[in-house]
């Protein structure tokens, strides 16, 4: 019984410690999708001025035309990106996914290292 408790405690503790360290390091990239019901050029400009690459698309939702913004950002910059979206488009739908691989495109931190 003691071995089961020790094993379970060690496993849980290691998992919690690993998650905490991984969250603090904030490594990797995220794909962010922002969907709004109106064109928001001010949002796009602000994101681009803040060194985020943004691709604009149009689509059709249940209630008509929607505007889709796609961006790949470093995980450590995710909060800064979503704060801008929350400020300028508080009712927008925001989806965030992990990006396992990516190549080319506008990633300012990578291009800065190349110069």
Per residue in 72-103, pLDDT (tens digit) is: 988 888 999 999 999 999 999 999 998 877 66
Query: What span, in angstroms and rounded, lies between the C-alpha atoms of 69 and 79?
Result: 16
pTM > 0.75:
no
> CB atoms < 10 A from the CB of 44, how many?
19
Residues 6 or more apart whose Cβ sits within 8 Å of residue 12 = none
- Select the highest-mean-pLDDT range: 8-12, 17-21, 102-106: 8-12
Distances 72 to 54, 55, 60, 65, 91 between C-alpha atoms, Å: 8, 10, 23, 23, 21
């Amino acid at each position: 019984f003691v071995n089961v408790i020790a094993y379970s405690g060690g496993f849980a503790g290691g998992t919690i410690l690993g998650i905490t360290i991984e969250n603090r390091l904030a490594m990797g990239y995220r794909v962010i999708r922002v969907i709004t019901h109106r064109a928001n050029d001010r949002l796009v400009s602000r994101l681009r001025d803040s060194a985020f690459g943004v691709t604009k698309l149009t689509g059709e939702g249940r209630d008509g035309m929607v505007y889709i913004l796609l961006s790949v950002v470093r995980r450590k910059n995710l909060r800064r990106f979503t704060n801008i979206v929350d400020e300028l488009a508080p009712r927008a739908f925001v989806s965030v996914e992990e990006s396992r691989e990516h190549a080319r495109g506008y990633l300012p931190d990578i291009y800065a290292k190349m110069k």
